[in-house]
Amino acid sequence: MDPVTAVTSSPPSLDVTHLAFAYPDGHQALFGVDFRIERGERVALLGPNGAGKTTLVLHLNGILSGGTGTVTVAGLPVGKQHMAEIRRRVGIVFQDPDDQLFMPTVREDVAFGPAAAGLKGAELEARVDKALGLVGMTEFKDRPPHHLSFGQRRRVAVATVLAMEPEILVLDEPSSNLDPASRRELADILRSLDVTVLMVTHDLPYALELCPRSLILSDGVIAADGKTADLLADDTLMRAHRLELPFGFDPRTVATSTGGR
């Protein structure tokens, strides 16, 4: 989907305006965050530990609230009035898939959310089959999740969120603990999805591979917003925000060879 086209016909998937938040102990985590993500974009959220990334993500579906500013998902303000719909539209895939998989079989895990929302019978089965098909896990439908590899469990965790037909898929460190083949398989899946993606990651090469645009969150504010290849190639910017590329990795060369993807 072309995000430029999408913005002319529908509200952005995510619009965050002047978001500030302090925890009860007085720690100020966000100092006024502003950005918007159009429908169909894949955007990486980068930043050092302690930058406020988790705090920001927990505001997207109302787990945290009480600060100042606004968060809007597909035109709906995040708040009590729309909370059930917001939590359907904002699908968060946690870093550890075992935090999301707790049923006896893969099918039951993927069906859990839609069933709780009222789907039954053939409609529920179709939703489960579609979600598992999107992540290439249909043949594992009747397997216990704990019998799967870590990479397979992560794909099922993604399916549990896709089964809710979200507006935006939020991924927390999706490449962590994956072997190279599983990492590539997940990348192929994420490219194929017709959904907006916000990927929180320290894996800068993965961000470059999957996300044309990146945000750098640092000290509770958006310090930079631009093309991923441009941000990663800015040595001064990277050093200023404690971001380091793997030894020998040159984003200029990679961006050239992949067409700046």
SS3 letters for the chain?
A: CCHHHHHHHCCCCEEEEEEEEECCCCCEEEEEEEEEECCCCEEEEECCCCCCHHHHHHHHCCCCCCCEEEEEECCEECCHHHHHHHHHHEEEECCCHHHCCCCCCHHHHHHHHHHHCCCCHHHHHHHHHHHHHHCCCHHHCCCCHHHCCHHHHHHHHHHHHHCCCCCEEEEECCCCCCCHHHHHHHHHHHHHCCCEEEEECCCHHHHHHHCCEEEEEECCEEEEEEEHHHHHCCHHHHHHCCCCCCCCCCHHHHHHHCCCC
Give 91: exposed, middle or buried? Use CB within 10 Å, 0-12, 13-18, 19+. buried
What is the percent of the chain where pLDDT is above 90?
89
Task: Please report which confidence band the pLDDT of residue 255 belongs to, taking 50, 70 and 90 as the band edges.
Answer: low
Lowest-confidence pick of 81-85, 125-129, 203-207, 253-257: 253-257
**Mean pLDDT throughout 70-89?**
94
Question: 192 in a domain, yes or no?
Answer: yes
Neighbours of 32 (CB within 10 A): 15
Over residues 198-217, the mean pLDDT reads 97
- Residue 254: per-residue pLDDT: 80
> Could you read off the pLDDT of 8-60 as tens digits, one per residue?
568 999 999 999 999 999 999 999 999 999 999 999 999 999 999 999 999 99
Average pLDDT (149-162) is: 97
pLDDT of residue 252: 86
Lowest mean pLDDT among 80-84, 90-94, 172-176: 80-84
Does the pLDDT of residue 206 top 80, yes or no?
Answer: yes
- The single-letter code of the amino acid at 33 is V
Residue 218 belongs to domain spanning = 3-94+167-257
Give pLDDT, residue 47. Answer: 96
Q: How many domains does the chain have?
A: 1
**Is 212 contained in some domain?**
yes
The neighbouring-strand residues paired with 19 are 33
Quote the pTM value.
0.91
Q: Give the pair of three-digit tokens for residue 101.
A: 């998989």
In a domain, 173, yes or no: yes
Structure tokens at 258: 């992949």
Which residues lie below 8 Å from residue 76, measured CB to CB, with a gap of 6+? 82, 85, 86, 89
Does 99 reside within a domain? no
Q: Confirm whether 246 is domain-assigned.
A: yes
Q: Within a domain: residue 121?
A: no
Confidence check: pLDDT of 1 > 50: no
Would 125 be classed as within a structural domain?
no
Sheet containing 14-22: give its strands across.
28-37, 14-22, 68-73, 76-77
Residue 199 lies in a domain: yes
pLDDT band at 67 (very low <50, low <70, confident <90, very high): very high
CATH number at 68 reads 3.40.50.300
